[in-house]
Amino acid sequence: MSNINTLFIGRVLEHFETLDSTNVYAQKLLAKSNPFEGTVISTYNQYAGKGQIGSIWESSPGKNISLSIILYPLFLAPTQQFKLSQAISIGVRNFIVKQLTNNTVKIKWPNDIYVNNKKIAGILIQNTISNRSIQSSIAGIGININQASFSSAIPNPTSLTIESGKEFHLDLLIPQLCHEIEQVYLLLKQKKWKQIEEEYLHQLFRINELSNYKDLQGRIFKGSITGISKTGHLILEENGQKRQFAVKEITFL
Ligand code: BTN
- pLDDT per residue as tens digits for the range 184-198: 999 999 999 999 999
Q: What per-residue confidence (pLDDT) applies to 192?
A: 97
Q: Are strands 40-43 and 13-16 parallel, antiparallel or unpaired?
A: parallel
* The CATH fold of domain 210-252: SH3 type barrels. (2.30.30)
Query: Of ligand 1's atoms, which has the minimum distance to the CA of residue 24?
Result: 14
- Kindly report the pTM of this predicted structure: 0.96
Nearest CA to ligand 1 atom 15: 50
Helix (H, G, I), strand (E, B) or coil at 32: helix
Tell whether ligand 1 has an atom less than 6 A from the beta carbon of residue 23: yes
Ligand 1 centroid vs 71 CA: distance in angstroms? Answer: 16
Burial (CB count <10 Å: 0-12, 13-18, 19+), residue 172 = exposed
Q: What are phi and psi of 222, to 5 degrees?
A: -95, 130
Q: What is the pLDDT of residue 54?
A: 85
CATH of segment(s) 13-202: 3.30.930.10
Q: How far is the CA of 85 from the centre of ligand 1 (A)?
A: 13
Own/partner contacts of 2-8, CB < 8 Å, gap of 24 or more, are 2/171, 2/172, 2/175, 3/175, 4/175, 4/178, 4/179, 5/175, 5/179, 6/38, 6/175, 6/178, 6/179, 6/182, 7/38, 7/182, 7/186, 8/36, 8/37, 8/38, 8/182
| Low-confidence spans in the chain with pLDDT less than 50 | none
123 Cβ below 6 A of ligand 1: yes
φ, ψ (nearest 5 deg) of residue 195: -60, -45
Residue-level pLDDT at 154: 83
From the CB of 49, is ligand 1 less than 6 Å away? Answer: yes
Which residue among 41, 59, 66 is best mutated to probe the pocket of ligand 1, counting the most ligand atoms within 8 A of its Cβ? 66
What pLDDT was estimated at residue 91?
Answer: 98
What CA–CA distance (Å, rounded) separates 127 from 73? 9
Which ranges of the chain would DSSP assign to H, the alpha helix? 22-32, 81-99, 160-164, 170-189, 193-202
Domains 13-202 and 210-252 share a fold: no
Q: What is the reported pLDDT for 151?
A: 87
Pocket lining: 57 vs ligand 1, CB cutoff 6 Å:
yes
Q: Enumerate the domain spans of the chain.
A: 13-202, 210-252
Question: Measured from the CB, is residue 68 less than 6 Å from ligand 1?
Answer: yes
